[in-house]
């Protein structure tokens, strides 16, 4: 039985967004702990930059590999159970890490297990948010959701400093930070989140229950004409253009965290205190930039996404080019340029992750999100070891910066071909 039509979108959608933000931000905090505790790890275990990078790479590999199956899991058990399973996996691995961390090989195994949770969360949180919001609100909702990526990075950095200051062993602090946070979020999600099909039996998205708002939000479309299987989706060149843009975005998001500290201290000569300020402000800008991208695509471009992607990737390429040219002038200029660069990378997030729900029929939107997450995160897998090896072999991060410029340009060209 189909749910009754609604006169307006329910206020409960905002609570769904808050809870999805907590889960997504939690996982990205898990990823960033490797960098946040990096100095302590290197000092305790004698690792070089390349070996340390595998603390992140191990998590990114499973994050990418499990995103596709995560989309299929959504179709079987729903978004809520998928996220609860993901949180339980991360908490269990974190708890073991807190007690028995400090061995390089077993640490990588535990980091790999933590990444499994990200594959499930990435597909489920994005898909859940899109289902609960009307078409012309999906970009801003997705932007707010993915804006917590930078907050997760910032909280990991601040949490590392605080916990290490208490005198805890680095592995206890690192595992304890994510284990305790994960338990709190698990309980909240279990008790307060409901599936859209439970609240509105027969419905697969809020948009289908708001005919008047949907008509005002975007051009009327017969969703039955959209691809109904992933095989049909994969035959569309625009889908592969999305994959390239997603790859580039993940490459830049995780690449920044890999080489920024070395670039600032070694190549630009910025002191360690200022480096901490610059990096924290750079990551924190995500909370503003990601929703801004959603506002542009929802309100300025009326639900069309590719224009915002082009603007964002263009800004990224230009600002990164300027860093070595005028960045030596002062730390303030470097901070501004990096905030613009990282902010523009974040502007993509809301519009981009609204696309899977708008190029497919609702029943496969979760699978499409999961597969795009998997393809995108390949960029996050390769960037850390590649950049670390380049830094180790050349003694500079400027080559890494140049590669990021090239990725921004390629993403800009591919974004032009994405039309819903």
Instruction: State pLDDT tens for residues 136-171.
Output: 888 888 888 877 766 666 677 777 778 888 888 999
Of 156, 170, 122, whose CA–CA distance to 32 is shortest? 156
pLDDT band at 310 (very low <50, low <70, confident <90, very high): very high
pLDDT of 349: 81
pLDDT digits (tens, 9 = 90+) for 167-216: 889 999 899 999 999 999 999 999 999 998 888 888 888 888 886 544 44
What is the Cα–Cα distance from 264 to 80, expressed in whole angstroms? 41
Enumerate residues 6+ apart whose C-beta is below 8 A from 162: none
Q: Return mean pLDDT, the chain.
A: 83
Considering only residues 353 and 402, tell me which one the structure prediction assigns the higher pLDDT. 402
- CA dist 322 and 324 (Å) reads 6
Instruction: Please give the pLDDT value at position 83.
Output: 95
- pLDDT at residue number 220: 44
Could you report the per-residue pLDDT of 57-93, keeping only the tens digit for each? 889 889 888 888 888 888 888 899 999 999 999 999 9
Q: Quick one: pLDDT at residue 327?
A: 63
The pLDDT value recorded for residue 218 is 45
d(CA 304, CA 285): 24
pLDDT band at 369 (very low <50, low <70, confident <90, very high): confident
pLDDT category at 1 given cuts 50, 70, 90 is very low
pLDDT of residue 281: 63
Q: How far is CA 227 from CA 30, 128, 136, 214, 370, in A?
A: 35, 20, 21, 20, 16
Q: What is the pTM of this model?
A: 0.74
Min mean pLDDT across 47-51, 73-77, 148-152, 260-264 is at 148-152
As a whole number of angstroms, the distance between CA 255 and CA 300 comes to 30
What is the C-alpha R_g of the chain?
A: 21
């Amino acid at each position: 039985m189909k749910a009754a039509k609604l006169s307006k979108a329910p206020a409960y959608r905002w609570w769904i967004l808050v809870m999805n933000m907590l889960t997504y931000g939690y996982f990205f905090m898990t990823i960033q702990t490797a960098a946040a505790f990096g100095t302590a790890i290197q000092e305790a275990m004698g690792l070089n930059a390349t070996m340390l990078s595998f603390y992140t790479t191990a998590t990114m590999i499973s994050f990418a590999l499990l995103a596709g199956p995560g989309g299929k899991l959504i179709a079987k058990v729903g978004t809520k159970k998928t996220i609860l399973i993901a949180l339980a996996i991360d908490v269990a691995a974190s708890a073991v890490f807190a007690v028995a961390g400090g061995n390089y090989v077993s640490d990588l195994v535990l980091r790999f297990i933590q990444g499994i949770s990200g594959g499930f969360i990435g597909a489920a949180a994005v898909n859940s948010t899109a289902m609960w919001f009307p078409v012309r609100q999906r970009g801003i909702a997705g932007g707010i959701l993915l804006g917590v990526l930078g907050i997760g990075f910032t909280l990991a950095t601040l949490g590392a400093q605080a916990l290490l200051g208490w005198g805890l062993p680095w592995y206890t602090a690192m595992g304890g930070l994510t284990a305790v946070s994960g338990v709190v979020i698990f309980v909240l999600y279990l008790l307060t989140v409901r599936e859209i099909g439970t609240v509105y039996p027969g419905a697969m998205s809020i948009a289908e229950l708001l005919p008047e708002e949907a008509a005002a939000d975007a051009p009327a479309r017969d969703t039955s004409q959209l691809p109904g299987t992933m095989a049909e989706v994969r035959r569309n060149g625009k889908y592969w253009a999305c994959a390239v843009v997603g790859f580039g975005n993940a490459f830049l998001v995780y690449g920044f965290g890999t080489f920024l500290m070395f670039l600032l201290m070694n190549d630009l000569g910025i002191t360690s205190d200022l480096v901490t300020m610059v990096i924290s402000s750079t990551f924190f800008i995500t909370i503003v930039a990601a929703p801004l991208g959603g506002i542009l695509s929802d309100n300025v471009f009326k639900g069309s996404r590719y224009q915002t992607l082009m603007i964002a990737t263009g800004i990224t390429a230009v600002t990164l080019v300027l860093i070595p040219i005028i960045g030596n002038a002062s730390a303030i200029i470097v901070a501004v340029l990096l905030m613009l660069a990282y902010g523009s990378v974040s502007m993509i997030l809301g519009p981009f992750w609204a696309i899977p729900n708008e190029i497919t029929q609702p029943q496969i939107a979760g699978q499409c999100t999961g597969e795009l997450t998997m393809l995108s995160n390949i960029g996050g897998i390769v960037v850390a070891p590649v950049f670390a090896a380049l830094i180790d072999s050349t003694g500079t991060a400027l080559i890494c910066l140049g590669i990021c410029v090239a990725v921004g340009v390629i993403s800009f060209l591919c974004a032009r071909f994405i039309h819903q």
